[in-house]
């Protein structure tokens, strides 16, 4: 904390928009403790989403990838959905093509029932981009084979690497590499 900034003089950095819990988890992760989450936190989709968004904000792709791993596990063990509030937060705080958007859409495409989702989409609170991406993903994924094949082939089932932020691709002015865009 050198320089002429106010924070350097006071030795205090204010992060008013960030939850203290999110920053504490980030700090622990930064010092090598991993995503030091308590049992209840591992299934808290809002918290895990906040961790990913914070990682995006401070541009630490490795932290985002750790959060994606935790989210992937929270989605499949047992199968769970993101709440409307979480979907809105993710789509408001991420750009088009964002890995977090892909994960949420893939979760709904592969785990949800189309009829149940159609009823939910009647609610005007769902982001238009989410609904569009959902149907694009649904058309790409189906016709749906047997349930066992679907569970085996769902894109986030074995690894979260599809949703990783690739460090070099996050640099300004850099085009994504073929590895980063592979599905």
Write out the two tokens for 179: 């590895």
Q: What is the pLDDT of residues 126-173, one digit of tens each?
A: 888 998 888 888 877 775 555 555 555 566 655 677 778 876 665 566
Positive or negative, the CA dihedral 146, 144, 70, 117 is negative
Residue of 174, 154, 172, 156 lying closest to 164 (CA atoms)? 156
DSSP states of 64-93 as a string?
HHHHHHHHHHHHHTTB----HHHHHHHHHS
Mean pLDDT, the chain, integer: 77
**DSSP string computed for 25-43:** HHHHIIIII-S---GGGGG
């Amino acid at each position: 904390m050198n320089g002429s900034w106010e924070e350097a003089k006071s030795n205090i950095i204010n992060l008013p928009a960030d939850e203290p819990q999110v920053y504490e988890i980030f700090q622990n992760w930064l010092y090598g403790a991993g995503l030091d989450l308590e049992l209840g936190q591992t299934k808290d989709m809002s918290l895990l989403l906040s961790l990913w968004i914070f990682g995006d904000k401070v541009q630490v792709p490795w932290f985002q990838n750790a959060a994606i791993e935790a989210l992937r596990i929270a989605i499949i063990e047992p199968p769970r959905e993101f709440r409307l509030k979480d979907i809105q937060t993710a789509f408001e705080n991420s750009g088009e093509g964002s890995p977090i958007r892909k994960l949420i859409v893939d979760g709904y495409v592969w785990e949800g029932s189309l009829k149940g989702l159609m009823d939910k989409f009647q609610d005007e609170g769902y982001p238009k981009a989410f609904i569009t991406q959902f149907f694009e993903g649904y058309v790409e994924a189906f016709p749906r084979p047997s349930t066992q094949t679907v569970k085996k082939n769902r894109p986030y089932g074995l690894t979260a690497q599809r949703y990783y932020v690739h460090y070099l691709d996050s640099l300004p002015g850099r085009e994504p590499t073929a590895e980063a865009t592979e599905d």
